[in-house]
Amino acid sequence: MASDTVCCPPQAPRPKVAHPVSQKSGYEAAGTYEKVGDFDKVYVTGPEKADHAVVVIYDIFGFWETSLRGWDLLANHLTLTIPHKLYAPDVFRGKPFPPERDGDKELLKKFFETTAKISDRLPEVIKFAQHLKKDYKTVSILGYCWGGKICLLSLATDTFHSGATCHPAMITDEDGDNLARPLGFYPSKDEPTEPVNYIAAKMKEKPFAKECDYVLYDTVHHGWVGARADLSDPENRKQFDAVYQRLADYFARVNA
């Protein structure tokens, strides 16, 4: 497995992050927390019976309310077309980045070197997918921010049938070069322009190009569908709903 220096080179451009994590609104999640594979805590949402699964990799804030809302919405959309069950493993093992320390660069650096160390977490995600593949026709992956990087690295292998990412972090040209499975690619206005354009161009060159999908959500910020979503903002809410419908359409099409 590649080292963190290779996975996440220091020169990788960072997204602009100006929006705080969202406030709690009392949303009641539709899913349940279960023990699945090697993870004691996995958020599971979707119909009881499904032939397809999606592994969801959260952002650094873990099981945040707006993230749970989005996963439930995606599962509901997919139930109307091709039912998928969503599995979000607690890859941080109960220790997400503390929101009250948001912006603390030293703590974030330490977090990425320990709890969120990609060269440690990526093999665990791949192993989790292998566990699910015994029970489903297809297993795909969906990642946000830090989880988006996990998604892109995973799609350099044949582990997943397909994948999608919203506002991925630490993206580089190599993510496009190494892409080996279909990708739904949905960056925000805050992701670095050059690697976004490079990955989008590379998707068109792949033998599976027709199975890929790309939209730049240039009216919303990094994190608009994850923990940094501001659903009181009309444009954020509009594009939050829009991308979850697009994700559902994408997974239904590519996994048909």
pLDDT in tens, 148-190: 999 999 999 999 999 999 999 999 999 999 999 999 999 999 9
Residue 44, token pair as written in the block: 């599971």
Give me the domain span that covers residue 72: 4-254
Global confidence as pTM:
0.93
Find where tokens 């919405």 sit.
73
Looking at the predicted structure, is the pLDDT value of residue 4 above 70?
no
Predicted local distance difference test score (pLDDT) of residue 9: 44
pLDDT in tens, 32-67: 999 999 999 999 999 999 999 999 999 999 999 999
Looking at the predicted structure, is the pLDDT value of residue 1 above 50?
no
Please, are residues 163 and 125 in contact by the beta-carbon 8 Å criterion? no
pLDDT in tens, 62-115: 999 999 999 999 999 999 999 999 999 999 999 999 999 988 889 999 999 999
- Average per-residue pLDDT in the chain? 93
Predicted local distance difference test score (pLDDT) of residue 146: 97
Domain total in the chain: 1
Looking at the predicted structure, is the pLDDT value of residue 124 above 80?
yes
Looking at the predicted structure, is the pLDDT value of residue 7 above 70?
no
Looking at the predicted structure, is the pLDDT value of residue 142 above 80?
yes
CATH of the domain at 238: 3.40.50.1820
- CA 136 – CA 225 distance, rounded (Å): 27
In order, the DSSP letters of the chain are ---HHHHS-TTSPPPP--PPPPPP-----SSEEEEETTEEEEEEES-SS-SEEEEEE--TT-S-HHHHHHHHHHHHHHHTSS-EEEEEE-TTTT-PPPGGGTT-HHHHHHHHHTTT-HHHHHHHHHHHHHHHTTT-SEEEEEEEEHHHHHHHHHTTTTSSS-EEEEEESS--HHHHHT--S-EEEE-BTTS-HHHHHHHHHHHHHSTTGGG-EE--BTTS-TTTTTTT--TTSHHHHHHHHHHHHHHHHHHHHHT-
